[in-house]
Structure 1
Amino acid sequence: MRSISDTIERLARARANAQGGTYRPSTLTRLDGPVQNPGQLTGWYQCPDNPASPPALVVILHGCTQSAAAYDHGSGWSRLAEDYGFAVLFPEQSRQNNANLCFNWFQCNDVTRDKGEILSIREMIASMVDLHGIDPRRVFVTGLSAGGAMANALLASYPEVFTGGAIIAGLPFGVASTVPEAFDRMRGYGLPSSTMLDAKLRNASAHEGPWPTVSVWHGTTDNTVSDANSRAIIDQWLGVHGADVGSSEAQLLDGGHALETWKDASGRDAIEHYRIVGMGHGTPVDAASGYGRPAAHMLDVGISSTVHIARAWGLTPSFERREKPAASDAPGAKSQPGQPQMPEGVQQVIEDAFRAAGLIK
């Protein structure tokens, strides 16, 4: 008779193969229970070995039907963190809380400051800071779909905790309080006005300091969460950053994808909006980057949201890692994307120099 662990292992392999991915055991470690866990969530983490300075932390929230390990496997976050020396934390939903493993972004008791699931996640972050020496000035959050909506709820409810956030195929904060309302908002129906969205954000906490930056990602053919939600998220955050809806800068990216950015009063890029042309519901990945693999709701569209988000947060260099051109190459010839990346030691020297100069924290 097969053991339970052997059965679980075989089922995991079968599920990975069914999703088109190659099975790889998770490298994440279970986080010891935080002081408070009213949302009854489980935490999984990875920290760099012997970091020279307190590492940054990225909190990553999976989507419905996903697990922490599956989302990590598809997005490549832990592999990127290992290469660049920051920590990752994956809160994980249970079927006892939600039969589809969705974070309960539409339940008031789970998205109100110091209650439910968002308090559980806040306590996990505190545990990471206390037990693993995380730099509390460099904490970020991202998530997909229901995880993206929950990431937005965390940014709204605990803006003092986060330096930045990235919302992928998610929804604005505070727009639904029942399951029917949640489905209507996902379809783009009944979204509040920009004035009401701004008020919901400001009323979520008593925050008076600087606000976290926000990156919004959405596919133009998403039939699960309407693209109208991405514009509503931006409307929700423009006011606190002192930005005007008509003050954005736009650029066209490779593949025809569009990026729009808004600056705050200090001139910092505070809000960015990636519209991924032809992409449905999921997280954009680029298998050629070496970070992430296509799977269910992990869509290989030739652009890695993981790499772009980490770069915008200063966790990786703001330039492409490239090989040195061969001597026979023509002057000015560019290397191709997806080539081997900069050695870790060189990266550490560059980061230390930037930090000493006060250019990054």
Structure 2
Amino acid sequence: MPHLLLKTIFIYSFFLMQGCTAQSQLVNDEIETVTKENLKYYLYYPEGYELDDKEGFGLLLFLHGGGESGSELEEIKKNGPPKLLVEGKQFPFLILAPQNPHRRKWWNTEAIMKLLDSVVESNNVDRKRIYLTGLSRGGSAAWELATQYPKKFAAMAVVCGMAPLPYAHWINKKMPIWVFHGDRDEVISVEESDKMVAKLKEMDYDVRYTRYKDVGHNSWSRAYTTDALYEWLVNQKQK
């Protein structure tokens, strides 16, 4: 039976500090710092999931928006795929939904990737069918992940996220992209997506764009209830 697991993982990063001799104004130095990220998350297993299935299962990484950040994991059930799961929708792939523990900070993308790698390693996941999606602040993080880890994801769907135009040059051209945005968004302007999609098309990327008329920042309410989105995702596989 399909079910959701609640888990917490601690992410550590290490850096080294070495001493130096200040013989000039230009000093050669190195520092090691230690950072820790506490990530709570839900992990959804689809109906029929088997650990020994030879084909493996796809996995969707979902990154929520700023409003669901903090320490109460229940918050991320308010929107996107987690909301649909609570309402009884079934998906044909695993869904990993971590929570950004920082109310006022961006997603720690390095920590996200360490969590993702850990989940993939311990579950029956087809590494060629890992999908990425995010809304608002999570959509912005999705663009960032696509640039930093261009060969990781089979497809990406971004909903009303900030989209720095230079990122277009770093994204894997073989990865299909679907962008959603409302034309009355007063939080993150629709121009962010307009310009990014135009740039991607100019560079011959495989990109779709759904631009909702008379819709504000909550375009995720329509985007994530679009069945065609999940049909599209499940048909993507890294070549």
Tell me the TM-score normalised to structure 1 length.
0.50
Query: Which of the two has greater strand per residue?
Result: 2
Match of 2:45 in 1: 47
Match of 1:230 in 2: 193
* 1:41/1:91 contact within 8 Å kept: no
In structure 1, how many angstroms separate the alpha carbons of the residues matched to 2:159 and 2:130? 18
- Does residue 88 in structure 1 map to residue 100 in structure 2? no
Taking the TM superposition and a 5 Å limit, the aligned residue runs for 1:1-361 are: 27-33=4-10, 38=35, 40-44=37-41, 45-48=43-46, 49-50=49-50, 52=53, 53-67=55-69, 69-77=74-82, 79=85, 83-95=90-102, 99-100=103-104, 102-104=105-107, 117-173=108-164, 197-198=165-166, 200-202=167-169, 210-238=173-201, 242-243=203-204, 264=205, 270-285=206-221, 304-305=224-225, 307-314=227-234
SS at match of 1:138: strand
- The structural deviation recorded for 1:314 is 2.1
Runs of 4 or more consecutive aligned structure 1 residues displaced over 6 Å after TM superposition: none
In structure 2, how many angstroms separate the alpha carbons of the residues matched to 1:284 and 1:50? 31
Cα RMSD, aligned residues only: 3.3
List alignment gaps of at least 5 residues for structure 1. Answer: 1-25, 105-116, 174-196, 244-263, 265-269, 286-300, 317-358
In structure 2, how many angstroms separate the alpha carbons of the residues matched to 1:87 and 1:36? 27
In structure 2, how many angstroms separate the alpha carbons of the residues matched to 1:150 and 1:138? 19
**Corresponding pairs, count:** 207
SS at match of 1:29: strand
SS at match of 2:138: helix
- Deviation track 1:16-64 (CA, whole Å, cap 9, x = no partner) reads xxxxxxxxxx944215445759571514122234264311111111111
* 1:43/1:124 contact within 8 Å kept: no
- Cα 1:236–1:70 change in 2 (3 A) is farther
* 1:35/1:123 contact within 8 Å kept: no
In structure 1, how many angstroms separate the alpha carbons of the residues matched to 2:226 and 2:100? 21
Question: Which structure is higher in RCO with an 8 Å CA cutoff and minimum separation 6?
Answer: 2
In structure 2, how many angstroms separate the alpha carbons of the residues matched to 1:360 and 1:170? 24
In structure 2, how many angstroms separate the alpha carbons of the residues matched to 1:63 and 1:131? 27
State the one-letter code of the partner of 2:44: Q
- Deviation track 1:147-166 (CA, whole Å, cap 9, x = no partner) reads 10001100111110011111
SS at match of 2:139: helix
State the one-letter code of the partner of 2:115: M
- The structural deviation recorded for 1:83 is 2.2
In structure 1, how many angstroms separate the alpha carbons of the residues matched to 2:88 and 2:11? 23
State the one-letter code of the partner of 1:281: H
Tell me the TM-score normalised to structure 2 length.
0.72
- Deviation track 1:78-130 (CA, whole Å, cap 9, x = no partner) reads 629972331111121123xxx34x525xxxxxxxxxxxx11111111111111
List alignment gaps of at least 5 residues for structure 2. Answer: 15-34
- The structural deviation recorded for 1:283 is 3.8
* 1:55/1:133 contact within 8 Å kept: yes
